[in-house]
Structure 1
Amino acid sequence: MPSSLPFPVQFSRLLARPWLRSLLLLSLIVPGMAWAEPRPEHMVYLRTIDPTIEQDIRYASAHNFTGHSLDGYAASECLLSLDTAKALARVQQALQAQGYGLKVFDCYRPSRAVADMGRFATAPGDPRKAEFYPRVDKQDFWRLGYVARVSNHSRGSTVDLTLTGPKALPADTWTPSAAQVDCTAPYAQRWHDGALDMGTGFDCFDERAHTANPTINATAKENRQRLSSAMEKEGFAGYSKEWWHFTFSGEGAPKSVMDFPITPLSASEVLDSSHQLIVVTTKNWDDTQGTAQRYERDGGSFRKIGDGFAVVVGKSGMAWGKGLGNVEPGEGPVKREGDGKAPAGIFKLGTAFGYDTTAETKLPYLSLTSTTECVDDSKSERYNELVDAAAKAKDWNSSEQMRKEEGYRKGIFIEHNTPAVPGSGSCIFFHIWRGPTSSTQGCTAMDQGDISRLFEWLDPRESPVLVQMPEGQYERLRERWKLPQR
Structure 2
Amino acid sequence: MNQPDTGGHGLRSFEASSGLDNHFMRLNLKVRMPSSLPLPVQCPRQPARTWLRSLLLLSAILPGIANAGPRPDNMVYLRTIDPTIEQDIRYASAHNFTGHSLDGYDAAECLLSLDTAQALARVQRALQKQGYGLKVFDCYRPSRAVADMGRFATEPGNPRKAEFYPRVDKQDFWRLGYVARVSNHSRGSTVDLTLIGPKALTADTWIPKAAQVDCTAPYAQRWRDGALDMGTGYDCFDERAHTANPTINATAKENRQRLSSAMEKEGFAGYSKEWWHFTFGGDGAPKSVMDFPITPLSTNEVLDSSHQLIVVTTKNWDDIQGIAQRYERDGASFRKVGDGFAVVVGKNGMAWGKGLGNVEPGEGPVKREGDGKAPAGIFRLGTAFGYDATAATKLPYLALTSTTECVDDRKSERYNELVDGAAIAKDWNSSEQMREEAGYRKGILIEHNTPASPGAGSCIFFHIWRGPASPTLGCTAMDQGDISRLFEWLNPRESPVLVQMPEGEYEQLRERWKLPRR
TM-score (norm 2): 0.88
Deviation at 1:181, TM superposition (A): 1.0
Of 83, 92, 106, the residue aligned with 1:51 is 83
Contact residue 66 and residue 288 of structure 2 kept, 8 A: no
Q: Number of aligned pairs?
A: 468
Deviation at 1:390, TM superposition (A): 1.2
Deviation at 1:164, TM superposition (A): 0.1
Question: Which residue of structure 1 lines up, in the alignment, with residue 331 of structure 2?
Answer: 299
Of 240, 243, 253, the residue aligned with 1:221 is 253
The residue identity in structure 1 corresponding to 2:61 is: L
Distance (Å, rounded) in 1 between the aligned partners of 2:61 and 2:347: 57
The residue identity in structure 2 corresponding to 1:195 is: A
Contact residue 27 and residue 33 of structure 1 kept, 8 A: no
Of 126, 141, 144, the residue aligned with 1:94 is 126
Question: Which sits farther off after the overlay, 292-301 or 418-427?
Answer: 418-427
Distance (Å, rounded) in 2 between the aligned partners of 1:104 and 1:353: 24
Contact residue 153 and residue 179 of structure 2 kept, 8 A: no
Deviation at 1:457, TM superposition (A): 0.1
Contact residue 198 and residue 223 of structure 1 kept, 8 A: yes
Distance (Å, rounded) in 2 between the aligned partners of 1:115 and 1:212: 29
Q: Deviations over 1:118-151 (max 9, x none)?
A: 1111111111111111111122223323333200
Distance (Å, rounded) in 2 between the aligned partners of 1:19 and 1:472: 60
Deviation at 1:326, TM superposition (A): 2.1
Q: Deviations over 1:438-467 (max 9, x none)?
A: 000100000000000000000000000000
Deviation at 1:31, TM superposition (A): 5.0
Distance (Å, rounded) in 2 between the aligned partners of 1:472 and 1:268: 19
Question: Which residue of structure 2 lines up, in the alignment, with residue 276 of structure 1?
Answer: 308
The residue identity in structure 2 corresponding to 1:470 is: P
Distance (Å, rounded) in 2 between the aligned partners of 1:336 and 1:30: 38
Q: Deviations over 1:347-373 (max 9, x none)?
A: 000000000010000000000010111
State the identity as a percent: 87
Trace 1:329-340 onto structure 2 (pairs within 5 A).
Answer: 329-340=361-372
The residue identity in structure 1 corresponding to 2:266 is: E
Question: Which residue of structure 2 lines up, in the alignment, with residue 12 of structure 1?
Answer: none
Distance (Å, rounded) in 2 between the aligned partners of 1:269 and 1:144: 41
Distance (Å, rounded) in 2 between the aligned partners of 1:242 and 1:328: 43
Deviation at 1:240, TM superposition (A): 1.2
Q: Does 1:147 align with 2:179?
A: yes
Of 185, 191, 198, the residue aligned with 1:159 is 191
Question: Which residue of structure 1 lines up, in the alignment, with residue 97 of structure 2?
Answer: 65
Question: Which residue of structure 1 lines up, in the alignment, with residue 415 of structure 2?
Answer: 383
Distance (Å, rounded) in 2 between the aligned partners of 1:311 and 1:47: 29
Of 16, 25, 32, the residue aligned with 2:58 is 25
Unaligned runs of 5+ in 2: 1-50
Q: Does 1:172 align with 2:226?
A: no
The residue identity in structure 2 corresponding to 1:389 is: G
Question: Which residue of structure 2 lines up, in the alignment, with residue 202 of structure 1?
Answer: 234
Q: Does 1:449 align with 2:476?
A: no
The residue identity in structure 2 corresponding to 1:366 is: L
Distance (Å, rounded) in 2 between the aligned partners of 1:433 and 1:268: 32
SS in 1 for 2:504: helix
Q: Does 1:191 align with 2:223?
A: yes
SS in 1 for 2:297: coil
Distance (Å, rounded) in 2 between the aligned partners of 1:128 and 1:326: 34
Distance (Å, rounded) in 2 between the aligned partners of 1:29 and 1:378: 38
Deviation at 1:381, TM superposition (A): 1.2
Distance (Å, rounded) in 1 between the aligned partners of 2:121 and 2:178: 27
SS in 1 for 2:61: helix
The residue identity in structure 1 corresponding to 2:507 is: E
Contact residue 320 and residue 335 of structure 1 kept, 8 A: yes
Contact residue 63 and residue 144 of structure 2 kept, 8 A: no
Q: Judging changes above 3 Å, is the alpha-carbon distance between structure 1 residues 248 and 310 closer, same or farther for their aligned structure 2 residues? A: same
RMSD: 1.5
Contact residue 296 and residue 356 of structure 2 kept, 8 A: yes
Question: Which residue of structure 2 lines up, in the alignment, with residue 13 of structure 1?
Answer: none
Q: Judging changes above 3 Å, is the alpha-carbon distance between structure 1 residues 434 and 351 closer, same or farther for their aligned structure 2 residues? A: same
Distance (Å, rounded) in 1 between the aligned partners of 2:177 and 2:261: 23
Q: Does 1:327 align with 2:359?
A: yes
Contact residue 315 and residue 503 of structure 2 kept, 8 A: yes
Distance (Å, rounded) in 2 between the aligned partners of 1:268 and 1:332: 21
Question: Which residue of structure 2 lines up, in the alignment, with residue 42 of structure 1?
Answer: 74
Of 437, 443, 462, the residue aligned with 1:411 is 443
Deviation at 1:24, TM superposition (A): 5.5
Question: Which residue of structure 2 lines up, in the alignment, with residue 9 of structure 1?
Answer: none
Q: Deviations over 1:220-253 (max 9, x none)?
A: 1110010011111111111111111111111111
Distance (Å, rounded) in 2 between the aligned partners of 1:204 and 1:219: 18
Distance (Å, rounded) in 1 between the aligned partners of 2:226 and 2:314: 36
Contact residue 22 and residue 115 of structure 1 kept, 8 A: no
Contact residue 323 and residue 340 of structure 2 kept, 8 A: yes
Distance (Å, rounded) in 2 between the aligned partners of 1:327 and 1:196: 38
Unaligned runs of 5+ in 1: 1-17
Of 399, 407, 411, the residue aligned with 1:367 is 399
Q: Deviations over 1:300-349 (max 9, x none)?
A: 00000000000000111111111111222212111111111111111000
Question: Which residue of structure 2 lines up, in the alignment, with residue 15 of structure 1?
Answer: none
SS in 2 for 1:390: coil
The residue identity in structure 2 corresponding to 1:229 is: S
Distance (Å, rounded) in 1 between the aligned partners of 2:289 and 2:57: 15
Of 456, 460, 476, the residue aligned with 2:492 is 460
Of 128, 142, 148, the residue aligned with 1:110 is 142
SS in 2 for 1:297: strand
Question: Which residue of structure 1 lines up, in the alignment, with residue 244 of structure 2?
Answer: 212
Question: Which residue of structure 2 lines up, in the alignment, with residue 231 of structure 1?
Answer: 263
